[in-house]
Chain A
Amino acid sequence: MKVKKLFRKTLFGVFSLFGMIGLSTSILCVYTVDTHLSEEYVTNSRGIAKTIADASVDILLNRDLSALQSLIDQFLEIQGIRYIYITDEAGEFLAHTFVPGIPEEIRTGGPIGGAAVERHLPGMGDFVEVGSPILAGVAGAVHVGMDTSLIALKIQRAIGQQIYLISMVFVVGVFAAIWFVNLAARPMGELLAYAVALARGEGDPSKAPVLERDDEAGQLARLFLHMSDNGSAGAPAGPP
């Protein structure tokens, strides 16, 4: 019974330890992935918006808008980019990738310069949008929207992988804990059996295997034997 209680306490300790490790590393993971991915997305979006803005000058001044559309369509193939639109200096939409139409939230205006804004577009999701001026803004601006649900997906995936790893370690840990507890409990069990036999006067108390052990269980067994011998020697003689 005492061994089982001991095991329960140990198991509880293992649970608590892994719980704390899992929780703390998950929080750290969410924070790290979210921060780094968000920064990377905004940085990439700015880079893409600037690239398109630089490439758009010649097209806007010299060529047909279909060439501009073809340009932004190619960037839309990059993972995470959900929409791109180009406005002229008066705010008119010259090219965009929205289907089935330009959302009202977008029509009301986009970020100025390289600032990043968070947008929620009904039916489409949540986005981080950055803008880049074309020809210092006198020819319009390019706006790139990155899908933040992809960040959430990556966070979920990272946490999932972490939980999987911790679960595997936990299962191994539980089995290891059981094995170690049993290992530690076995001499205690032998000692307990010896003490009971000694008390009942069963068998030869000086030939029990536990007396040969050189650990604490052996020392205790020898102490019990010694106390038992002393007790027998010092006791007043009873009636025959």
Chain B
Amino acid sequence: MLTRRLLMGAGLAVPWFRAIAAGEDATNRIPDDLQGVAAASSTGDAGVSDSEFLLGMSAAFSGPSRGLGIELHRGASACFEHVNRQGGVAGRRIRIRTYDDGYQPDPAVNNTMTLMLDDRVFLLFGYVGTPTVTRVLPMLKKFQDRGTYLFFPFTGAAPQREPPYGDFAFNLRASYAQETAGLVDNFVAVGRRRIAVFYQADAYGRSGWSGVRAALARHGETIAGEATYRRGTKFTSIMRSQVEILKKVDPEAVICIGSYAACAAFARDAVDLGLQVPMANLSFVGSENLLKLLLEAHEDAEPYTRLLVNSQVVPSYEDVTIPAVREYRDLMSRYDPQAPEELVKEPYTPFPHSFVSLEGFLDAKLLVEVLRRLGDSPSRQGLEAAVFSIKDYNLGIRERVSFGPERRQGLQGVYYTVVEDGRFVTLNDWGGRFS
């Protein structure tokens, strides 16, 4: 039985092993609807033709974390739709081929194989999640001769920022290490040194846990206590066990590294069970979805939300003094982008604006600039040089974007937000709020 399971696991790799073993020519495997894209390529590269760039995206459009994939896709779509209506990039429209992975690694791997081998996309864009991306990265290395890069995944984990896979991805957002370091530094600064961690039991949670551990070590502290939950946990789940584990260590703050449904459930149960300490969440949590769940949980949700502090990797979408935010709000309202209908099978009400869709918008905006820099004969081989040519680039937010061989992450900024009057606002005074 054990052997069979191992063989089943290995079976995931069978399609491309089979293709390689058979000496199959990839051009023979192009679906009919994409023949035009591959065949009409002026550069010989699949995924780009004289009229189109084809991008591939695998993200969560189902399950408890579907809000992340949907919002990220909406933000990016607003930008791409606008660019396409303006004539595209050097006459080429941008189209996204999208698949749902439900925030699970195996479907993400399968989707990536389909995108690379069957759809033959020009590049991969907007993947969501650490456990998914960490499993996809080896595929990019395996097929490195194809030159398929992963652009701007929605994760702050380290594997796509460092060897051996860092060369196959470009990141825009700050890392989880930067987010957790900022949270720890600010908590310590206001005298909260006993910090516990509540995290998702997978690569994402471990990445955040690792960041908290390293940041605390710089202050001569260790993680006071830890509790975990399984990926895919819903808001209806009970977090009593986790809360009781953390209550035993009497923390002065808890840093949560999870998805919005689980983190909202934890915040709810923590308050209900008397764990009244600041609870920090990382940008990945999807702040608006988290807040929506808590606000709907009780008529008086203020006790659940007043101790929240969420780190963000993009500025507030409420700050209309920022040019990119004004553009984002304008295009979101003008085009009202929707996630692909065929992928969104569970009810979901999109937010007019959100940190996640703003990040998707900024990702798309920067990608458009990269594609522009490829010139009239775009090729995958030119992608890395195009990205590295971005120096001190004004994306429309206050921080400038730069890339280089030793700098595969465009932005470094981390922002902190708290809930006021049922919405997230920028936190400027940690001492006043949490000391």
Interface residues of A (CB under 8 A from B): 40, 44, 62-70, 73-74, 77-80, 95-102
Contacts and interface: CB of A to CB of B under 8 A. Distances in A.
Contact of A69 (B162, B206, B239): B206
B56 interface: no
22 contacts: A44-B2, A63-B158, A64-B162, A64-B210, A66-B134, A66-B157, A68-B206, A69-B205, A70-B131, A74-B9, A74-B135, A79-B2, A98-B201, A99-B228, A99-B229, A99-B230, A100-B227, A100-B229, A100-B239, A100-B241, A100-B242, A101-B242
A98 B105 CA distance: 19
B207 interface: yes
Q: Is the interface of B mostly helix, strand, loop or mixed?
A: helix
Interface string B163-184: 1000000000000000000000
B167 to A, nearest CB: 14
Choose among A40, A80, A97, A101 the residue with the greatest number of B CB atoms under 10 Å from its CB: A101
Given A73-B131, A100-B227, A101-B242, A66 B201 contact: no
A128 to B, nearest CB: 14
Given A64-B162, A101-B227, A102-B226, 5 more contacts: A64-B207, A65-B207, A69-B205, A100-B241, A101-B226
B142 interface: no
B6 interface: yes
B416 interface: no
Nearest to B248: A101
Contacts of B336: none
Contacts of B201: 96-99
B396 interface: no
Contacts of B159: 63-64, 66-67, 70
Q: Chain B contact residues (Cβ within 8 angstroms of A): what range?
A: 20 to 34
B207 A40 contact: no
Nearest to B163: A62
Contact of A100 (B157, B205, B210, B228): B228
Interface in B217-252: 226-230, 239, 241-242, 245
Contacts of A77: 5, 9
A66 to B, nearest CB: 4
A81 to B, nearest CB: 9
A62 B6 CA distance: 27
B228 A67 contact: no
Contacts of B242: 100-101
Interface in B1-38: 1-2, 5-6, 9
B158 A64 contact: yes
Nearest to A40: B2
Contacts of B105: 70, 73
B227 A69 contact: no
Contacts of B204: 66
A73 B134 CA distance: 11
A100 B230 CA distance: 8
A66 B207 contact: yes
B231 to A, nearest CB: 9
B2 A66 contact: no
Contact of B158 (A66, A74, A96, A101): A66
Contacts of A99: 201, 228-230
B164 to A, nearest CB: 8
A64 B156 CA distance: 12
A74 to B, nearest CB: 7
Contacts of B226: 101-102
Contacts of B205: 69
B40 interface: no
A166 B393 CA distance: 80
A63 B134 CA distance: 12
B379 interface: no
B315 to A, nearest CB: 26
Nearest to B245: A101
Contacts of B227: 100-101
A153 to B, nearest CB: 11
Nearest to A37: B1
Choose among A66, A68, A73, A98 the residue with the greatest number of B CB atoms under 10 Å from its CB: A66
Contact of A98 (B135, B209, B228): B228
Given A64-B210, A100-B245, A69 B228 contact: no
A65 B227 CA distance: 17
A40 B206 CA distance: 31
Contact of A70 (B9, B134, B210): B134
A95 B131 CA distance: 14
A78 B202 contact: no
Interface in B305-330: none
Nearest to B201: A99
Contacts of A65: 206-207, 209-210
B283 interface: no
B133 to A, nearest CB: 10
A70 B131 CA distance: 7
A46 B385 CA distance: 47
B130 interface: yes
Contacts of B206: 65-66, 68-69, 95
B384 to A, nearest CB: 22
B203 interface: yes
A67 B5 contact: no
Choose among A62, A65, A79, A98 the residue with the greatest number of B CB atoms under 10 Å from its CB: A65
Contacts of A73: 105, 131, 202-203
3 shortest A-B CB distances, which residue pairs?
A64-B158, A69-B206, A66-B207
Nearest to A68: B206
Contacts of A70: 105, 131, 134-135, 159, 202-203
Contacts of B6: 78
Nearest to A123: B241
A69 B9 contact: no
